[in-house]
Amino acid sequence: MRAGVPKKTLADAAGVLERIAPSKPSQPVLAHVYLEAVPGGLVMRATNGEVDLELLVPAEVEGSGAALVPAALFGQLVRSLPGEYAELRLGPEGLELEGGSFSTRIAVADPETFPPFPEPEGEKGKVAAEALAKALSRVRYAAAQEEYRAIFRGIQLEFDQDRFRAVATDGFRLALYDVPEGAGFSAKRVLPARSADELVRLVKDTAGPLELAAGEGRLWAKGERFQIALALMEGSFPDYERVIPERFVLEATLDAEALRQAIERLRVLADRQSQRIDLAFSEDGLELAAEGEYGRGRERVPAEIQGETPLVAAFNAQYLADALKGLKGALRFRLSGPATPSLLESEEEPGYRAVVVPLRV
């Protein structure tokens, strides 16, 4: 087989697959990219056991054939090719790759040894790619890094007829994002946060709908030129709805970025262990203060306050900064009390809500 592909197209695909293919695989075959010539293009595939990804790369193809190429080497070679155009030729002695005045032949492995792409099963439906990427990336920070309950390292996707939601929590904070678009089916599935990251990277610049299939063990997503299968987490996600406060004693409206920047400044001075930062809400607005072994600092942030003032609550500065990251425009900071959960809502991103619990002081 022979295939001609614009270099950039091939390099982009190889880069995405190289990230999936494990560099220290449990089975050597997983360090490869599966490459197959089909009419009109190249099918390229990688898997790490958790995430299976298949890309269709448009190419001028003659003949057919398949091979496994070392993922990292192939990626490096394709990226460094001179010229605009890459030519691939698969023969009995390996894969020849040419670009400009450069040519190479690399050893290939038997394509039959590569795991087949898992067949979609379960509930089927559709979501907008961009909305799914947005929802997952917005709540990602609240998933646990390490935790005795593995399920906290996941992001739950809740699909319904008229909306879908992404939600993550590590037991100390919670983030959720609602999209008012039906998926065409009802199901809850928990994705490992790292697999969700791959899905986000893949679809964030994709316009149009994704076809979904939610099986018991996997979630599939299919776009125009890719399909991805993500192994799901077992176990049930915590019953988080009860920690979302509904009654509030105070509501502050302020600029999300101004608040985040003040927190970032004061964090430097906060106690390293507790990361404590004090928020004092009064009729005049909000004053933040932090104190640690090196000194103390304070800063005023303009805020419109409604409710019972004065109110002082202490928070983990990191948690607040995470919840505010990337938010612009007006923020509603709603407190249910000095020691009970607070709710953050963004006027520019109405689907987003974050719950942060004050520190006990």
CB of 289 to a copy of itself, least distance (A): 10
CB of 297 to a copy of itself, least distance (A): 3
CB-based contacts of 101: which residues, under 8 Å, 6+ apart? Answer: 82
CA dihedral 41, 46, 50, 51 (to 10 degrees): -30
In contact, 232 and 191? CB cutoff 8 Å:
yes
Q: How many whole angstroms separate alpha carbon 228 and alpha carbon 212?
A: 10
Closest to a copy of itself by CB, 49 vs 100, is 100
In contact, 244 and 341? CB cutoff 8 Å:
yes
Closest to a copy of itself by CB, 24 vs 360, is 24
Question: Where does this chain touch a copy of itself (CB under 8 A) — which range of 12-20, 70-78, 194-202, 226-234?
Answer: 70-78
Number of residues that bind a copy of itself (CB under 8 A): 32
What backbone phi and psi angles, to 5 degrees, belong to 127? Answer: -140, 160
Q: Read off the amino acid at residue 228.
A: I
30 is a contact residue toward a copy of itself (CB under 8 A):
no
CB of 224 to a copy of itself, least distance (A): 32
For the record, the structure tokens of 358 come out as 């004050």
Question: Where does this chain touch a copy of itself (CB under 8 A) — which range of 49-57, 71-79, 128-136, 308-316?
Answer: 71-79
Please list every residue from 88 through 127 that binds a copy of itself, using CB under 8 A.
94, 100-107
Closest to a copy of itself by CB, 102 vs 115, is 102
CB of 88 to a copy of itself, least distance (A): 13
Closest to a copy of itself by CB, 81 vs 143, is 81
Specify the pairing of strand 187-192 against strand 209-214: unpaired
In contact, 358 and 316? CB cutoff 8 Å:
no
Closest to a copy of itself by CB, 148 vs 294, is 294
Closest to a copy of itself by CB, 279 vs 301, is 301
In contact, 125 and 185? CB cutoff 8 Å:
yes
Closest to a copy of itself by CB, 233 vs 270, is 270
Helix ranges (H only) for 157-282 are: 193-203, 256-267
Q: How many whole angstroms separate alpha carbon 34 and alpha carbon 30?
A: 9
300 is a contact residue toward a copy of itself (CB under 8 A):
yes
**Residue 198: helix, strand or coil by DSSP?**
helix
CB-based contacts of 339: which residues, under 8 Å, 6+ apart? Answer: 313, 358, 360
Q: How many whole angstroms separate alpha carbon 334 and alpha carbon 305?
A: 10
301 is a contact residue toward a copy of itself (CB under 8 A):
yes
CB of 28 to a copy of itself, least distance (A): 13
Binding-site string for a copy of itself from residue 246 to residue 265, where x marks contact by CB under 8 A and - marks none: ---------------xx-xx
Q: How many whole angstroms separate alpha carbon 323 and alpha carbon 330?
A: 14
Please list every residue from 264 through 283 that binds a copy of itself, using CB under 8 A.
264-266, 268-269
CB of 313 to a copy of itself, least distance (A): 20
Interface with a copy of itself (CB under 8 A) = 70, 73, 76-77, 80-82, 94, 100-107, 261-262, 264-266, 268-269, 293-301
